[in-house]
Chain A
């Protein structure tokens, strides 16, 4: 983590975003763009998908600056969670699209996508997506600490400082979150939950 990134005053950036200063948007992009892209690529596994997600994330911040509330967390965590949720939605959208296209293919008797990936890669992708969907549904306090530790590479101490919580709480939340994700892998997925729209505004 660079010093500049660490010391970025969210309230100053937010003020400038609210008052329509596009240089603040460029600064936010330069600071958090790599994090947003990393998350979007991890989840979408597609450079084009990641670019779409990143565009959406920064468009949302810019056009709806009041959706970010500095009283409820840092800009880093907020962008990270937004990127993640949008990326999960993007993959779900692609799946629906592919299924629809596949149905068309079936009626037309054409042969779908050449060169499908090996079975184990497909399985691993599905498991990953299942976990990311479960992560997107974790309660906010647990989700925040997972985002800081897993995606933003923070130690539990840094995460605790950023969230303004005791270190012990950060450790416990991380452990509880991962245990829940482990359970999600063993439970059959609930299709109703998987398709539930993400909450707005993180």
Chain B
């Protein structure tokens, strides 16, 4: 039998570590018997593997306990909360993990979004979490609470500017610590653990919603900004975990539904992808549906977060195109992030 010397020779490495496929030995063995250079190489590489093995290791049983005590000391798990606060707890843990990639000399000055760098984006989140902290009695209300007739958007932007100016004078680690402490306080509040307590509606950032929903708004914003930072640092941020993703989708649908109200043509919105599929009728409920829209859950969240252009967001569309794109444009315009 003539075997291709070149091809058989390439098997020697795999043979030496015992990684051949069944049947390969039948090709290799006769070749090694005939070919001195290959036989010499085989001997040499097998010897390397034996030397890698070294003298026998006393094989004891694996430790009975999982060896994870160091891991759990190094980073706490996301705190357990009621389900309405779980997406926020996860988002906070996820952003902390991402920030773990930046040490004190890390690229904190990388441009992220608007005219913010990484440090500014955390300072913004620190400001953005404040209204809920005030409402939960975790901090004292400030003038930024928009009592002087200014719109919530103006008050909110002004407060962000104020906090940004202050935090720019601090080391990034200080800003991160403040953001983290406030997030931890929100997640330790009784309202994060008791859905009944968190059922009362309150107006924050222009939206009158139950506190449970405001926790979801915090999760939404933390995730969108984490994705912003990940994009800037070329570290792909995974989407929220499936149940959390759908909590955010349902929140976004409610906000969009409120914004569209009656008077806009009825559009059937289907969100379909990771974790399932759900449909809603938006706009004038009494009208027959004038268009149908299908969006992926992550894309829909990005659209609502103002992170994808309504012109280019991947969508399935049938019916009245103007009515459907009207919904997409409205969704993108609601972004406050």
Interface residues of A (CB under 8 A from B): 11, 14-22, 25-26, 29-30, 33-34, 37, 41-42, 45, 47, 51, 54-56, 58-59, 61-67, 69, 71, 121, 124-125, 127-129, 131-132, 135, 146, 149-150, 153-157, 159, 168, 170-179, 181-182, 185
Binds A, one of B68-76, B200-208, B327-335: B68-76
Query: Does A150 lie within 8 Å of B52, measured CB to CB?
Result: yes
A155-B236 Cα distance, complex, nearest whole Å = 31
Given the known interface contacts A19-B90, A66-B100, A155-B19, the answer about A55 and B45 at a Cβ–Cβ threshold of 8 Å is: no
Residues of A within 8 A of B53 (CB): 42, 128
Given A127-B51, A132-B52; A178-B17 close (CB under 8 Å): yes
Asked if A131 and B48 sit within 8 Å, CB to CB, the answer is yes
Q: How many A-B residue contacts, CB cutoff 8 Å?
A: 185
Cβ-based interface call for B169 (8 A): no
Q: State A65–B66 Cα separation when bound (angstroms).
A: 19
In chain B, what residue has the closest Cβ to A44? B57
How far in angstroms is the closest Cβ of chain A from B54?
3
Which residues of B from 34 to 77 have beta carbons under 8 Å from A?
A: 41, 44-45, 47-49, 51-55, 57-60, 62-63, 66-77
Q: When chains A and B are docked, how far (Å) is the Cα of A30 from the Cα of B68?
A: 11
Asked if A55 contacts B71 (CB within 8 A), the reply is yes
Known: A125-B55, A155-B20. 12 other contacts (CB 8 A): A20-B93, A20-B96, A30-B66, A55-B69, A56-B70, A62-B68, A67-B101, A127-B51, A156-B20, A173-B13, A174-B17, A174-B19
User: What chain B residues lie within 8 Å of A127 (beta carbons)?
Assistant: 51, 54
Residues of A within 8 A of B47 (CB): 182
Q: Which one of A67, A154, A171 lies within 8 Å of B11 (CB-CB)?
A: A171
**A14-B238, A59-B74 are known contacts. Are A19 and B52 too (CB-CB below 8 A)?**
no
When chains A and B are docked, how far (Å) is the Cα of A194 from the Cα of B70? 28
Report the separation of the CA atoms of residues A58 and B72 in the bound assembly, to the nearest whole angstrom.
9
Residues of chain A within 8 A (CB-CB) of B240 are 19
Inter-chain contact A168/B93, CB cutoff 8 Å: no
Total count of chain B residues near the partner, CB < 8 A = 60
26 A-B contact pairs sorted by A residue (CB < 8 Å): A15-B239, A17-B97, A18-B98, A19-B78, A19-B94, A19-B240, A19-B241, A19-B244, A20-B96, A21-B77, A21-B90, A25-B72, A42-B54, A47-B58, A51-B63, A63-B74, A63-B100, A67-B101, A124-B54, A128-B51, A128-B52, A149-B17, A149-B18, A176-B13, A181-B48, A182-B47
| Chain A min CB distance to B86 (Å) | 10
A131 & B93 in contact (Cβ 8 Å cutoff)? no
Q: Which 5 A-B pairs have the closest CB atoms?
A: A20-B93, A175-B13, A128-B54, A20-B78, A174-B13
In whole Å, how far is B47's beta carbon from the nearest beta carbon of chain A?
8
A155 to B41, CA, bound (A): 20
Are B19 and A159 touching (Cβ within 8 A)? yes
Given A45-B54, A65-B97, A132-B52, decide whether A171 and B241 contact each other with a Cβ distance below 8 A.
no
* Residues in chain B within 8 A of chain A (CB atoms): 9-14, 16-21, 41, 44-45, 47-49, 51-55, 57-60, 62-63, 66-78, 89-91, 93-94, 96-98, 100-101, 235-241, 244
Contact B67 A124 (CB under 8 A): no
Q: Chain A contacts of B57 at CB under 8 A? A: 41-42, 45
Given A19-B93, A171-B11, also A26-B45 (CB < 8 A): no
CB neighbours of B19 from chain A (8 A): 149-150, 153-156, 159, 174
